[in-house]
Amino acid sequence: MAEAAGAGAIRAILLDFNGTLAQDGHLTAPLYVDTFASVGVPLTVEDYHRELALMPDREAFTLALARLNAATGADTAIEPRQTVAVEDATGGAPAARAAGIRVAAIRGPGYAEASRYADLVIERLDLAALDLILGAEPAEPAEPAEPAERGA
């Protein structure tokens, strides 16, 4: 991006862990099932994947950026518009957008390109994609970005 020090320059990239960096549902689902069972709340692995794993929340992105700012101690805080979230799920993309964060979606079964929530769609997360992400301009959403319904 030509405006490296400008207000809209990308200063942070937030990576969605589940699905983007690791396929760990087979590990986390049983932990949730056991934890819920320990307090008497029934939950199946299927329930976890249908209900809990698909809970996009703009606050998760806001909190991640706040923690990043606290950890770096930079003189000027990183603003949401200076951040790109890398997502693999249609549900996570509007949550990031609702937090004011640009979105780079990884093309695949988890992201519906027709939703147009992403500013950029990439094939995979690699160095070529990083160049594209750093140069991405915010897209105009077709509709105001609202977090998706749970399980959508």
* Every domain of the chain and the residues it spans: 1-18+57-152, 23-52
- What is the H or E stretch that residue 38 is in? helix 25-38
Per-residue pLDDT of the chain (152 residues; tens, 9 = 90+): 233 445 678 999 988 766 555 666 777 789 889 988 898 888 888 887 776 666 567 888 888 898 888 888 888 999 999 999 998 888 888 889 999 999 999 988 878 899 999 999 999 888 999 999 998 766 554 454 454 444 44
| Residue among 61, 58, 79, 100 nearest 11 (CA) | 79
Q: What is the pLDDT of residue 5?
A: 45
Phi-psi region of 87 (alpha: psi -120 to 50; beta: other; left: phi over 0): beta
Residue 108: partners with Cβ closer than 8 Å, 6 or more residues away: 88
CA 101 – CA 147 distance, rounded (Å):
13
pTM: 0.68
CA 152 – CA 24 distance, rounded (Å):
20
Q: What is the pLDDT of residue 147?
A: 47
**113 secondary structure, DSSP code:** G
CA 86 – CA 12 distance, rounded (Å):
11
Q: What is the pLDDT of residue 144?
A: 46
CATH of segment(s) 1-18+57-152: 3.40.50
